Amino acid sequence: MHAETDLEVRKERMLSEHLLARGIRDAAVLRAMREVPRESFLPPEMARLAYEDSPLPIDAGQTISQPYIVAYMIEALELSGKERVLEIGTGSGYAAAVLSRCAAEVYTVERIPLLADGARNRLQSLGYSNVKVLHADGTLGWREQAPYDAIVVTAGAPEVPAELLEQLGPGGRLVIPVGPSQHLQNLVRVRRLPRGDFRREHLCAVRFVPLIGEQGWDDGPY
Ligand code: SAH
């Protein structure tokens, strides 16, 4: 089969078997997952695996999350399309691209310069013009652009960084993997209630690379 057609078939299978069958219902999220070419965010030799439901290695020892988790986390942000969203952990830029189809503006922060530059170029050349990429320690958020209607963290934190709670607007949602180990976390959603106090819910068990920084884990090899 022609490589492109083959990927389209695999993508439809991913949508029905991994997203719909496992409970993803948000129409905007499903549409975005169909629209964004995951193969364009992977090293070329990985492209044929783009629609397997598994995380895959990208540069600098990091990973691109599995499609189901990307869809699940974005659905958990309860977006209507009008929001300003902050993502911590740009990685390949894939989740930022999906987010950009579900929200008005996306701000994404990555600590590894090689990944931040790569994602910025990729997002620009693919035409995702409502995404801005910053190279910085995302445990401190992106203060200049705050407050955000929603924040998603795609690396595992020891605790919810206080700075991110501060940058969440009233009524906002923060979705973040939190756990005592660097490789196994609980996905947590924190809502900032209109009066300003926070309510925390546990969503499911997940496995992410560690969030490294001032309000995250101690520095690793990067
Ligand atoms: N959302 C990404 C997957 C990211 S993997 C995608 O769709 O491809 C997690 C990313 O978080 C890695 O790239 C890692 O370098 C980054 N990261 C870890 N600690 C960070 C921090 N303090 N600030 C910003 N990014 C961080």
CATH superfamily entry for domain 53-206: Vaccinia Virus protein VP39 (3.40.50.150)
Q: Is 109 in the pocket of ligand 1 (CB under 6 A)?
A: yes
pLDDT of 130 reads 98
The one catalytic residue in 16, 40, 54, 65 is 65
Average pLDDT of the segment spanning 139-148 = 98
| pLDDT tens-place string over residues 107-143 | 999 999 999 999 999 999 999 999 999 999 999 999 9
pLDDT at 61 over 70: yes
Which pTM was predicted? 0.97
Residue 25 Cα to ligand 1 midpoint, Å, equals 26
Residue 197 Cα to ligand 1 midpoint, Å, equals 28
pLDDT of 104 reads 98
Phi-psi region of 73 (alpha: psi -120 to 50; beta: other; left: phi over 0): alpha
User: Is 65 a residue of the active site?
Assistant: yes
CB of 35 closer than 8 Å to CB of 101: yes
pLDDT of 1 reads 58
Q: Is 156 in the pocket of ligand 1 (CB under 6 A)?
A: no
| pLDDT tens-place string over residues 172-190 | 999 999 998 988 999 999 9
